[in-house]
Amino acid sequence: MIRIGNASGFYGDRFSAVREMLTGGPLDVLTGDYLAELTMLILGRDRLKDPSRGYAKTFLRQMEENLGLAKDRGVRIVANAGGLNPAGLAGALRDLATRLGIDVAVAHVEGDDLLPRAGELGFGEPLTANAYLGAWGIAECLNAGADVVVTGRVTDASVVVGPAAAHFGWARDDYDALAGAVAAGHVIECGAQATGGNYAFFTEHAIGTPGFPVAEIHADGSSVITKHEGTGGVVDVGTVTAQLLYEIGGGRYAGPDVTARFDTIELAQDGPDRVRLSDVRGEPPPPTVKVCLNKLGGFRNEVTFVLTGLDIDAKAALVREQVEEALKENPPAEVRWTLARTDHPDAVTEETASALLHCAVKDPDPTVAGRAFSGAAIELALASYPGFHVTAPPSDASPYGVYTEAFVDAAGVPHVAVLPDGSRVDVAPPGETRMLADPEEPPLPEPLPPGPVRRVPLGLVAGARSGDKGGNANLGVWVRSDDAWRWLVHTLTTGTLQRLLPETASLPVRRYVLPRLRAVNFVVEGLLGDGVAAKARFDPQAKALGEWLRARHIDIPEVLL
């Protein structure tokens, strides 16, 4: 087998994780995922200021502390920290190694940056335009002897699939093995989310500070998800299920190298903090690859008015009327009001007696969203509702981004492995492709027989994990027994979800059934507007959407309680 660990789930994750993973136990490869849709926007703005940047600077600092340690322990490093400038990061790593006197072979993968072709491809004028490459460029670099491989925008799982494919010598059409590695990569890509972080049933475990995950991958693509002995957190079927459901759609999980059938995955506890993941089936990848597009959408600003005590609705109406009157000569392009009724009657503290009225504005003109809006809000300090105050002084407007996705022919996207000796290897597109189609909904089990019920929170029997994919929200819900599954799959329909979460009622919602995981997955289209950078709603990445659902009350059979 090959032991592949992860030390980063996002740009800003625990800095010490690289050293912890290198010193905590045996590893063959250490990976890191530094890129997200929002990160690409951040790196794009960095590149505007300095064309030599555009990569994750944190990774370079981590390597300054740990490159020698990795070399001494024979652990190879694979990370997508190259962002928009993998060649620049590779060069900086070579300079670092020379300065530290460490003999390491550095390679990188490029070709994902389609910004120079944005007009030709019909993308308009984005700030960033990056295709999701696959694992074969990474495998080429490792086969050429690279100790460190940095990439630009590859799929999150590719940093795991590439080392496994190189280690076992998989062919491009070893779809089942590749699909198994994709599933393992998907589990560990978000770091501690696989080891008890952000876990619905966290109260059942001593989570502490979770260690980072390790995937022990075998030649057939099966794997065991675990963590270094003695580290915090927990790895069980529940934590792995939660991460498998994170930010997916249906049973077919498409990538540039293989479409992994997540509806075939079998999970089994394989000992303390060990979960076996097997039987994953794979199919040829689709003929197109996804492209992440970010552009600057304009400028945004916000203020939160604190409304305390009596007449909350009347106070909110007054200040809203006053602000809109002050802005009517030059109104922002978008004004959004949200009243959060956090107040309680007869409250024993001022904070619990208060509600929060948020006003957010967006406009192409930074002055309209900045000084004009801030002035309109703060000039009301002595002329509005009783008890007027705000959570923070209004500030200047800040730029916001808009995320969209596009799809292009895989054959038209360059994929280049730049080897340690500087030679360049073109990675061919897939030789076989298959149009993506949702699997037919599997046969459902018999419903649970009627019986007494209690109206209690859904979360007493169901776990959930939610997140974002551009403007869409993903919400996976699972249960832990066959009887609970018989109840859940017949109860938690799209209509029930829309009733429990009224924000979703007017939006398209798709449900996917995953019996082997005892799970249903929902995709709520458009809930997040233009994506996280646009901050279209409270909780702009839908991270807590699942916890809101779990807190909603529903009739649950007493036999399950």
pLDDT tens readout for residues 544-557: 999 999 999 999 99
pLDDT bracket for residue 125 (50, 70, 90): very high
Residues 255 and 314 in one domain: no
* pLDDT value of residue 85: 97
Question: 211 and 307: one domain?
Answer: no
173 in the same domain as 41: yes
**Is there a single domain that holds both residue 121 and residue 257?**
yes
Q: What does the pLDDT read at residue 54?
A: 96
Residues 288 and 301 in one domain: no
d(CA 38, CA 402): 9
Residue 21, both tokens: 């993973």
User: Is pLDDT above 90 for 393?
Assistant: no
Judged by DSSP in three states, 371 sits in helix
Overall number of domains in the chain: 3
Q: Position 89: which residue type?
A: L
Q: Whose CA is closest to 257, among 168, 160, 188?
A: 160
Q: Is residue 496 part of a domain?
A: yes
Per cent of the chain over pLDDT 70 is 100
Residue 244 falls inside a structural domain: yes
Q: Are residues 158 and 54 both part of a single domain?
A: yes
Reported residue count of the chain is 561
Q: Are residues 202 and 76 in the same domain?
A: yes
Query: What confidence score (pLDDT) does residue 239 get?
Result: 98
Q: For residue 545, how many C-alpha atoms fall within 13 Å in the half-sphere facing its CB?
A: 31
Q: Say yes or no to pLDDT of 438 above 80.
A: no
Torsion sign, CA atoms 401, 404, 409, 415: positive
- 387 CB neighbour count, 10 Å cutoff: 15
Same domain, 201 and 235: yes
Q: Is residue 434 part of a domain?
A: no
**One domain, residues 284 and 319:** no
Range from 392-396, 414-418, 425-429 carrying the lowest mean pLDDT:
392-396
What integer is the mean pLDDT of 265-274?
Answer: 98
Diameter of the chain by CA atoms?
Answer: 73
- Residues 128, 143: Cα–Cα separation, whole Å: 30
**pLDDT of the residue at 394:** 79
Residue 466: predicted pLDDT: 97
Q: What is the pLDDT of residues 300-355, one digit of tens each?
A: 999 999 999 999 999 999 999 999 999 999 999 999 999 999 999 999 999 999 99
Residues in contact with 499: Cβ distance below 8 Å, sequence separation at least 6, in sequence order: 505
Q: What is the pTM of this model?
A: 0.95
Question: Which pLDDT score is estimated for 300?
Answer: 95
- Alpha-carbon distance of 128 to 292, in angstroms, equals 8
Please provide the distance, in angstroms rounded to a whole number, between the alpha carbons at the two ends of the chain. 41
* Percent helix, strand and coil across the chain, each to the nearest 5: 30, 25, 40
CA distance 470 to 324: 31
Q: Kindly state whether residue 355 falls inside one of the protein's structural domains.
A: yes
Question: How does residue 395 score in pLDDT terms, banded at 50, 70 and 90?
Answer: confident
pLDDT in tens, 483-529: 999 999 999 999 999 999 999 999 999 999 999 999 999 999 999 99
Task: Please state, rounded to an integer, the average pLDDT across all residues of the chain.
Answer: 96
Instruction: Look at residue 432 and tell me if it is in a domain.
Output: no
Q: Is residue 309 part of a domain?
A: yes
* Residue 374 pLDDT greater than 80, yes or no: yes
Q: Does 441 map to a domain?
A: no
The DSSP 8-state label assigned to residue 368 in this structure reads: I
Ranges 21-25, 46-50, 390-394, most confident: 21-25
Mean pLDDT, rounded, for 183-198: 98
Domain containing 340 equals 296-402
Band of residue 536 on the pLDDT scale cut at 50, 70, 90: confident
Q: Could you tell me if 51 and 62 lie in one domain? A: yes
404 C-beta neighbours (distance < 10 Å), count = 18
pLDDT at position 68 is 98
pLDDT mean over 204-225: 97
- The C-alpha atoms of residue 108 and residue 81 are separated, in whole angstroms, by 10
Q: What is the pLDDT of residue 531?
A: 86
Taking a C-beta distance cutoff of 8 angstroms, is the pair 343, 358 a contact?
Answer: no
Which H or E run includes 447? Answer: none
What pLDDT does residue 532 have?
83
Q: Residues 371, 420: one domain?
A: no
Q: How confident is the model at residue 162 (pLDDT cuts 50, 70, 90)?
A: very high
Helix, coil or strand: residue 339: strand
What token pair was written down for 298? Answer: 């304009």
Please report, for the domain that includes residue 380, its CATH number.
Answer: 3.30.70
Is the pLDDT at 242 greater than 90, yes or no? yes
pLDDT given for residue 533 in this prediction: 81
Per-residue pLDDT at 24: 98
436, part of any domain: no
Judge if 175 and 50 occupy the same domain.
Answer: yes
User: Residue 187's beta-bridge partner residues?
Assistant: none
Q: Above pLDDT 90, what percent of the chain?
A: 95
Of 37-41, 362-366, 444-448, which range is least confident? 37-41
Quote the pLDDT of residue 547.
98
pLDDT at 282 > cutoff 80: yes
Domain termination residue (choose one: 337, 368, 402): 402
Helix (H) or strand (E) holding 516: none
